[in-house]
């Protein structure tokens, strides 16, 4: 009997004879709207330094998820080495639409055009620092314009319909985007295909891997689409807001809307967590580097490293527009303050930020070594003193005899 149940899909018409309860939909929407509203309220008053690190972390998250969704598995583990030109993509398959460099180039180019200035400025820095290999990871004959086409198709689907009606649901634009994407041959999940292999015991059917769909292009435009109906909000990308699960054609309308709301709420919460991390990091830099002059770019470099990830010195030169000697001075200041470290990877030097936990571990190890050295010195001094006492007592004993 064929397997009609997809384990990745929570809702399925064969599991229920009617749509999901309206109460479940309302609960999911309330939670998503609250999380989204809290995030936008915080971003409305975010300091420039915090916005910079937040945007660097957001750019990395978008790149990693775009590469993963494009058929390059485990992107988070090899991304930094690949972006720095120190490692090729390890897991390219036959089911990718474009080289990873083209996906990254397209995404960074779109981010550099963002209507929110902090995100655009940060994307320009990161794009200048890109040092990855070009043209790798895609099979021969694949479309070279696939990422650009995906963005253009996503923009077409994001256009509001002529009969657009007002909706009290703040994220209603996401529901319209999901409905349009579910009907699009470019974004809708592809049908499962099977290959029949003749074996001695009889023919066996094997399911073939589906070609990855570029959902990252929809995530890229999701925040801007919401901002059209709420001009005061920041037009942020929402990585993870559009899920293949929500584009399944067999879903009931409320079932699709529940998945859409839950995905939007989780995406907003993830960005809120990144904003918390950026606030904490900026406070730590301020405390650790108060001795620096106000024009120093060392805090700027730390925010880039802490948000986006490790970089090579030549990448830092291009990202910040400073000389080789300038990079050396900035790195030395961060290392002296205990905020960064130099590390070796494939005979190349990389500079990476030290998070608070890592700094605490290094400090504890340093104190332990200091205590051990001090204890050793104290024991040696005690042994020497006891030896002197024993020699004096021996001389006194000899004199009495």
Residue 377 falls within a domain, yes or no? no
Which pLDDT does position 200 carry in this prediction?
74
Tell which phi-psi region holds residue 340, choosing left (phi > 0), alpha (psi between -120 and 50) or beta: beta
User: Between 145 and 66, whose confidence is greater?
Assistant: 66
Count Cβ neighbours within 10 Å for each residue of 226-250 and write b for 16 or more, e otherwise: bbeeeeebbbbbbbbbbbbbbbbee
Q: What is the pLDDT of residues 348-377, one digit of tens each?
A: 999 999 976 555 554 444 444 444 444 455
Q: What is the DSSP letter of 245?
A: G
Other CB atoms within 10 A of residue 186 CB: 16
Residue 313: CATH number of its domain: 1.10.10.10
User: Between 206 and 25, whose confidence is greater?
Assistant: 25
Residue 2 pLDDT grade (very low, low, confident, very high; cuts 50, 70, 90): very low
Residue 301 and residue 200 share a domain: no
Q: Is the pLDDT of residue 97 over 90?
A: no
Range of the domain at 338: 289-353
Residue 301 and residue 250 share a domain: no
Other CB atoms within 10 A of residue 87 CB: 16
Which of 281, 300, 333 terminates a domain? The answer is 281
Q: What is the DSSP string of 107-151?
A: HHHHHTT-SSHHHHHHHHHHHHH--PPSS-SS-TT--TTHHHHHH
> What is the pLDDT averaged over residues 187-192?
70
Residue 331 and residue 226 share a domain: no
* Mean pLDDT (the chain, rounded): 82
Q: In whole angstroms, what is the distance from residue 206 CA to residue 25 CA?
A: 37
Q: Is the pLDDT of residue 4 over 60?
A: no
Which spans in 159-215 are helix H?
172-182
Which pLDDT does position 250 carry in this prediction?
85
Residue 64 and residue 213 share a domain: yes
Residue 374 falls within a domain, yes or no? no
Which of 335, 353, 371 terminates a domain? The answer is 353
Which pLDDT does position 363 carry in this prediction?
46
To the question of pTM greater than 0.85 for the whole model, the response is no
Residue 332 and residue 262 share a domain: no
Cβ atoms 126, 118 nearer than 8 A? no
Residue 79 and residue 211 share a domain: yes
Q: Is 264 exposed, middle or buried (0-12, 13-18, 19+ CB in 10 A)?
A: buried
What's the chain's length in residues? 401
Beta bridge partners of 207: 194
Q: In whole angstroms, what is the distance from residue 378 CA to residue 371 CA?
A: 10
Residue 315 falls within a domain, yes or no? yes
Q: Which range, of 93-107, 197-211, 359-373, averages the lowest pLDDT?
A: 359-373
Which pLDDT does position 1 carry in this prediction?
39
Which pLDDT does position 294 carry in this prediction?
57
Q: Which range, of 101-115, 278-292, 323-337, averages the lowest pLDDT?
A: 278-292
Q: Which range, of 9-23, 193-207, 260-274, 367-381, averages the lowest pLDDT?
A: 367-381
Selection from 51-65, 81-95, 276-290, 339-353 with the highest mean pLDDT: 51-65
Q: What share of the chain in percent tops pLDDT 90?
A: 54
Residue 84 falls within a domain, yes or no? yes
Which pLDDT does position 292 carry in this prediction?
62
Residue 44 and residue 76 share a domain: yes
Residue 376 falls within a domain, yes or no? no
Which pLDDT does position 6 carry in this prediction?
47
Q: In whole angstroms, what is the distance from residue 112 CA to residue 125 CA?
A: 9
Q: What is the pLDDT of residues 267-319, one digit of tens each?
A: 999 999 999 999 999 998 888 877 666 567 899 999 999 999 999 999 999 99
Which pLDDT does position 122 carry in this prediction?
98
Q: Which range, of 103-107, 255-259, 373-377, 393-397, averages the lowest pLDDT?
A: 373-377
Residue 329 and residue 196 share a domain: no
Terminal CA-CA length for the chain: 107
Give the chain's domain count. 2
Cβ atoms 111, 235 nearer than 8 A? no
Residue 295 and residue 205 share a domain: no
Q: What is the pLDDT of residues 139-189, one digit of tens each?
A: 444 455 789 999 999 999 988 776 666 577 889 999 999 999 999 988 887
Which pLDDT does position 322 carry in this prediction?
94
Selection from 65-74, 99-108, 386-395 with the highest mean pLDDT: 99-108
Residue 107 falls within a domain, yes or no? yes
Beta-strand pair 204-207/194-197: antiparallel
Residue 261 and residue 206 share a domain: yes
- Which has the closest alpha carbon to 224: 168, 171, 162? 171
Which of 253, 281, 309 terminates a domain? The answer is 281
Residue 324 falls within a domain, yes or no? yes
Residue 207 and residue 74 share a domain: yes
Residue 348 and residue 272 share a domain: no
Q: Is the pLDDT of residue 396 over 60?
A: no
Residue 180 falls within a domain, yes or no? yes
User: Between 65 and 188, whose confidence is greater?
Assistant: 65
Residue 22 pLDDT grade (very low, low, confident, very high; cuts 50, 70, 90): very high
Which pLDDT does position 13 carry in this prediction?
47
Tell which phi-psi region holds residue 66, choosing left (phi > 0), alpha (psi between -120 and 50) or beta: alpha
Which pLDDT does position 133 carry in this prediction?
77
34: which 2 tokens? 């609250």
Q: Which range, of 50-54, 211-215, 233-237, 308-312, averages the lowest pLDDT?
A: 211-215
Which pLDDT does position 286 carry in this prediction?
83
């Amino acid at each position: 009997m064929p397997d009609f149940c997809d384990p990745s899909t929570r809702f399925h018409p064969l599991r229920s004879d009617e749509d999901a309860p309206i109460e479940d939909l309302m609960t999911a929407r309330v939670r998503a709207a609250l999380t989204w509203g809290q995030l936008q309220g915080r971003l409305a008053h975010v300091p420039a330094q915090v916005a910079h690190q937040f945007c660097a972390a957001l750019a990395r998250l978008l790149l990693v998820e775009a590469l993963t969704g494009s058929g390059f598995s485990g992107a988070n583990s090899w991304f930094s080495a690949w972006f720095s030109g120190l490692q090729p993509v390890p897991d390219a398959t036959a089911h990718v639409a474009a080289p990873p460099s083209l996906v990254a180039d397209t995404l960074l180019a779109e981010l550099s055009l963002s209507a929110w200035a902090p995100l655009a400025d940060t994307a320009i820095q990161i794009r200048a620092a890109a040092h990855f290999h070009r043209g790798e990871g895609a099979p021969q004959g694949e479309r070279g314009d696939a990422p650009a086409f995906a963005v253009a198709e996503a923009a077409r689907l994001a256009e509001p319909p002529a009969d657009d009606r007002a909706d009290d649901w703040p994220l209603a634009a996401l529901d319209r985007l999901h409905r349009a994407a579910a009907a699009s041959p470019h974004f809708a999940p592809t049908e499962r295909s099977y290959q029949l292999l003749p074996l001695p015991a009889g023919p066996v059917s094997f399911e073939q891997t589906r070609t990855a769909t570029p959902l990252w292009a929809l995530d890229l435009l999701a925040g801007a689409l919401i901002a059209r109906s709420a001009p005061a909000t920041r037009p942020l990308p929402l990585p993870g807001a559009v899920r293949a699960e929500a584009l399944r054609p067999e879903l009931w309308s409320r079932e699709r809307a529940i998945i859409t709301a839950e995905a939007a709420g989780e995406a907003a919460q993830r960005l809120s967590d990144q904003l918390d991390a950026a606030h904490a990091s900026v406070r730590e830099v301020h405390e650790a580097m108060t001795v620096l002059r106000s024009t120093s770019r060392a805090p700027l470099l730390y925010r880039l490293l802490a948000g986006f990830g490790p970089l090579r010195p030549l990448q830092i030169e291009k990202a910040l527009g400073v000389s080789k000697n300038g990079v050396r001075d900035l790195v030395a200041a961060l290392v002296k303050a205990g905020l960064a470290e130099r590390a070796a990877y494939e005979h190349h030097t990389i500079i990476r930020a030290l998070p608070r936990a890592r700094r605490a571990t290094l400090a504890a190890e340093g104190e332990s070594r200091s205590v051990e050295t001090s204890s050793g010195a104290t024991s040696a001094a005690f042994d020497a003193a006891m030896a002197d006492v024993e020699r004096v007592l021996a001389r006194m004993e000899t004199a009495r005899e």
